[in-house]
A and B are shown apart, each in its own frame.
Chain A
């Protein structure tokens, strides 16, 4: 069942590497976007050195002026009264943290994703609480304790947000176009017909294409994550980043099924490329590859649910930068594989060996 698998994979890789257009659009072009977004808005994630103080907080209010100046070098305290609004602002990443006093507890609300900044704020508050406790007449039972509590995090640094989205888009382009173009040009150039005249089974042809597409996707992932992790861009991968591998694999299969559908339907490479573009580009926009969909209207968010890229992007963001556990990616993997099976089956019904 695997006769010719190796040699066919080899010629596909050769064909891809020697195809400058394909290399450009699957590797270089998305990489340019990554560098552009990651570099251009590099510092936009850092303007959050301010901490909101919600209502009265004894520890701050009773602070001597000298101490206040000391702290001012690290954080700016802004007094506000609207608790909900304050928490929301932290959530959006506009401020590093919010502090409030609940009885004897000082509660710190911070965004977990901005590890560096929340760490600073936390360390600072913790030491302040210690000091205050000691200052409170040296009693053994502390007057105040600090409860650190992360709020739901939408305050990712730009590169953290951009990398999964652009990577998802690049994988979508690579897998969709790879499958569509191979199918159409091989059919048009009578290569499929020629292969049918050899003892090579269909499974080897399909298998070689899948293997090469997976390889391309994993190379894209290594390249994008590698570049985003350079100190200049500063991507920090979280513990379960490796869950991105099964995600990328199942997404590649889903995108390939789109490509096979386009390639089975289209009669010429130009038509196949147009159809693939018509699907991939809107999909990338509606899946939040270039900018978050948070502010999009609800119906648009609902529409975006049909796109495999949307599920890939969200799950990648979760496991690569938000530090979500491996289990969080499972629903997305299920959806992607289901999509691949359904669309792949439809494509197999439309499949033709020959133009006529």
Chain B
């Protein structure tokens, strides 16, 4: 497999702020790659360097085999970008907007309309972009990024502002695109999204990549406990403590009683025996726990 992106020792500072502080990673062609991290982690800055919008202070960057800085029109034809803040021409309708972007790449209006349909925006084709809702603007912006069938797609928080249904639709769309062989790089705050979509993720904080790998591997490597919740009062707290591992806590917030354990099968069997399974939910470790264990902080402060 060839590399779509290769980055080594990337640094970028804004004055005192080290926005990107020595990031190193590679993305294979055809891969679905996620960059995860809290606000200000340096995700957007990293993408901007890959897209050729900013020059790195130092480090090696190669995108589709060439350096993105200085800007090369030939490379631009092969990448598609959805910016974190949508950027539309003033006073144009959704359809005029995407047709314009298509024409900038020498693509006809038919393909533009097709993409508008693909992101479920046909109904809003004649609405001025200023009047679109946040989620609709987001969908249009993604459609504009995909209109020229780019080999490599950069999406900066594509699902922020989308309702659950639109989010799921977009996931399907992105999986399709990736399935057709396009490389996708996205940033997100939603750890669940990264787990569902990405072949591999990079967890980023303060400009550094803290962990890199398939989500399942990262989670498994953590050996984090599973959390089993049942309705409060189903078993006494003393009983519950006896079921849990000795070093892990049992919490009761008055609504649910949560038992943390590394041997969920044993605990579930014991609960079943006591007929104390009302309101049962089992939550395994997630990327959120990975982040917590890497940084000692909750993902969302």
Contact = CB atoms under 8 A, between A and B. Distances in A.
Interface of A: 3-4, 6-8, 10-11, 14-15, 18-19, 185, 189-191, 193-201, 354
14 contacts: A7-B100, A7-B103, A11-B96, A11-B100, A14-B91, A14-B96, A185-B90, A193-B53, A193-B83, A197-B52, A197-B79, A198-B105, A199-B74, A199-B77
Contact of A199 (B53, B73, B83, B85): B73
A18 to B, nearest CB: 4
Contacts of A195: 104
Given A197-B51, A199-B73, A189 B90 contact: yes
Given A4-B104, A189-B87, A191-B87, A197 B92 contact: no
B16 to A, nearest CB: 15
B71 interface: yes
Given A4-B103, A7-B100, A11-B96, A198 B76 contact: yes
B76 A199 contact: yes
B25 interface: no
Interface of B: 51-53, 71, 73-74, 76-77, 79, 81, 83, 85-92, 96, 100-101, 103-106
A8 B103 CA distance: 9
Contacts of A8: 100, 104
A156 B74 CA distance: 59
B89 A191 contact: yes
Contacts of A197: 51-53, 76, 79, 81, 83
Contact of B92 (A4, A11, A198, A199): A11
Contacts of B76: 197-199
Contact of A18 (B79, B83, B91, B105): B91
| Closest CB pairs A-B (n = 8) | A190-B87, A199-B73, A7-B103, A194-B87, A18-B91, A199-B76, A4-B104, A198-B104
B73 A14 contact: no
A19 B91 contact: yes
Given A198-B101, A354-B53, 4 more contacts: A8-B104, A190-B87, A197-B79, A200-B104
B79 to A, nearest CB: 8
B104 A190 contact: no
Interface centre among B52, B85, B88, B91 (most CB of A within 10 A): B91
B91 to A, nearest CB: 4
Nearest to A12: B89
A191 B74 contact: no
A11 B91 CA distance: 9
Contacts of A185: 90
Nearest to A17: B91
A200 B85 CA distance: 20
Given A7-B104, A15-B90, A199-B77, A194 B96 contact: no
Contact of B83 (A4, A7, A194, A198): A194
Contact of B53 (A6, A11, A19, A196): A196
Nearest to B145: A197
Contacts of B81: 194, 197
Nearest to B51: A197
Given A4-B104, A197-B76, A190 B92 contact: no
Contact of A193 (B87, B89, B90, B105): B87
A8 B77 CA distance: 17
Interface centre among A4, A8, A194 (most CB of B within 10 A): A194
Contacts of B88: 189, 191
Interface centre among B77, B86, B103 (most CB of A within 10 A): B103
Nearest to A201: B73
Contacts of B71: 196
B53 A15 contact: no
Contacts of B96: 11, 14
Nearest to B128: A18
A16 to B, nearest CB: 9
A197 B90 CA distance: 18
B92 A15 contact: yes
A8 B52 CA distance: 22
B48 to A, nearest CB: 9
Interface centre among B71, B83, B89 (most CB of A within 10 A): B89
A200 B106 CA distance: 10
Nearest to B54: A354
A15 B88 CA distance: 12
Contacts of B83: 190, 193-194, 197
B89 A15 contact: yes
